[in-house]
Structure 1
Amino acid sequence: MRTGIELREARVRYGPLEALHGVSIAAPSPGLTVLLGRNGSGRTTALRALAGTVPLATGTVTWDGTDVTRLTAHARARRGLCFVPDGQAVFGHLTVAENLGLSGPGDKADIAPALAAYPELRPLLPRPAGTLSGGEQRMLALSRALLASDARVILIDEPTQGMSPAVASRTYDLLIALSTRGPGTCVMTAEQRLPPGLREHAGRTAVVVHELRRGAVVFSGEATELSRPRPSA
């Protein structure tokens, strides 16, 4: 198993506040990595640091063993990094069909795979994306990532936010399949808790978990090693 993308001793500051305190996390390629943590834990900041949308105060970002810390977010995208943030992940003034069309060269994007993954989008194709529900917008944003055939690293913040349990389960099936496609796709998501059933996927692909708390890593390992939550009394 080789490392796809990695933060090394990363510190990120927002003004006087430090959001990441020397965080080191590595994501395998191919494989699925989940960043766990409550709001304010630093998981979203870690994704943004990897994507290049927030600068590091200290530390490095490496990709396939190469230091890309100084590369802009646009340069990382051109190299094959796809980032799906937790908000403003679609173009609200464009239709669903137009959003999907942006995933391919010119007007020749084949949107069939996206509609096969999320058939719920088919009747919504002529609608402006900004009029969709939160769950529908997440489906659209993830569909664009599915259509990015040249993506080597895919970072997704809260992929199942607003989705029904059935669609959320299907989404993680899609992400597992995505993490095993081609020569090696590195998929990393950020979640508040480990999605149900993800431990059982460990036999199909590497499922790595990094848990953050208050800007520091408190656990790193396989999903099967993470302690299961205790049932409520």
Structure 2
Amino acid sequence: MRGIELRDARVRYGPVEALHGITLAAPHTALTVLLGRNGAGRTTALRTLAGTVPLSSGAVVRDGRAITHQPAHERAAQGLCYVPDREAVFSSLTVAENLNLAAGDTAPALDTYPELRPLLSRRAGTLSGGEQRMLALSRAVLSRATVILVDEPTQGMSPTTATRTYALLQSLDACVVLAEQRVPPGLRKGAGRTTIVHELRRGELVFSGEPGELDEDPEELSPARSRYAQE
């Protein structure tokens, strides 16, 4: 399968196991959402895919090839971009310098987020939370990565900017994986690119499927119903 996967993935933080042998797939052709409340394991799963958290057992597979022992910087050099929920920009550099690190031509990013144009000379650390998310996502887009992992992409954004951001992520020719607490309304409606949801709860995979199949209350989900987890 072209895309990125976790296979029987277990992750421990000291004596505590955060992921309990989960298997899930994020195909290149779809936008994948790792869904769950705080402590569910969605951020850990994203970090494991990025290589910033090691597996206790199991595997990370990209385009059919195991990359479990490949360090994060090598994954990045091979076209994987990870945007964490915090400290996703170089705070001591200006907005322009942050963008220039990703690409020489920054016009596509500024066309997507024109709000950044008047902020080019500002230090990134002085921006609001929503502005920093715009900058971080702009750098991800400019990097032309083939796998893009984003933890809470629209945190701090206005509803209008958030809608534009989800449309951007749906339009990318890349394997896009998002970590979210809820399925965004625009993705739940199923417009545009296929969306796959993997619901995590306390380190367990409890649901895999399309947004329209997801129960309204995550706490009422039955044990894992998985059409996509092992494809």
- Taking structure 1 as the reference length, the TM-score comes to 0.91
Equivalent residue number for residue 108 of structure 2: 113
CA-to-partner distance for each residue in 1:4-48, whole Å, 9 max, x for gaps?
000001000000011100011100112200000000000000000
Query: Post-superposition shift, 1:204?
Result: 2.4
Q: How does 1:46-57 map to 2 (within 5 A)?
A: 46-57=45-56
Q: How does 1:146-165 map to 2 (within 5 A)?
A: 146-149=141-144, 151-165=145-159
Query: Secondary structure in 2 aligned to 1:102?
Result: helix
Whether 2:173 is the aligned partner of 1:208: answer no
Equivalent residue number for residue 126 of structure 1: 121
Q: Percent identity?
A: 67
Query: Post-superposition shift, 1:223?
Result: 1.8
Measure, in 2, the Cα distance between the counterparts of 1:10 and 1:3.
19
Measure, in 2, the Cα distance between the counterparts of 1:204 and 1:86.
25
Equivalent residue number for residue 225 of structure 1: 213
CA-to-partner distance for each residue in 1:156-214, whole Å, 9 max, x for gaps?
00000011111111100000011xx2xxx1000000000012123x3522210000000
Measure, in 2, the Cα distance between the counterparts of 1:41 and 1:93.
32
Whether 2:133 is the aligned partner of 1:145: answer no
Measure, in 1, the Cα distance between the counterparts of 2:191 and 2:161.
22
Query: Does the 8 Å contact 1:60/1:67 carry over to 2?
Result: yes
- Taking structure 2 as the reference length, the TM-score comes to 0.92
Measure, in 2, the Cα distance between the counterparts of 1:174 and 1:196.
15
Gaps of 5+ in 1: none
Gaps of 5+ in 2: 219-231
- The size of the alignment, in residue pairs, is 218
Counterpart amino acid of 1:146?
V
CA-to-partner distance for each residue in 1:82-101, whole Å, 9 max, x for gaps?
00001110000000000000
**Root mean square deviation of aligned Cα:** 1.2
Counterpart amino acid of 1:156?
V
Measure, in 2, the Cα distance between the counterparts of 1:162 and 1:19.
27
Whether 2:82 is the aligned partner of 1:83: answer yes
Measure, in 1, the Cα distance between the counterparts of 2:57 and 2:98.
36
* 4+ residue segments displaced more than 6 Å: none
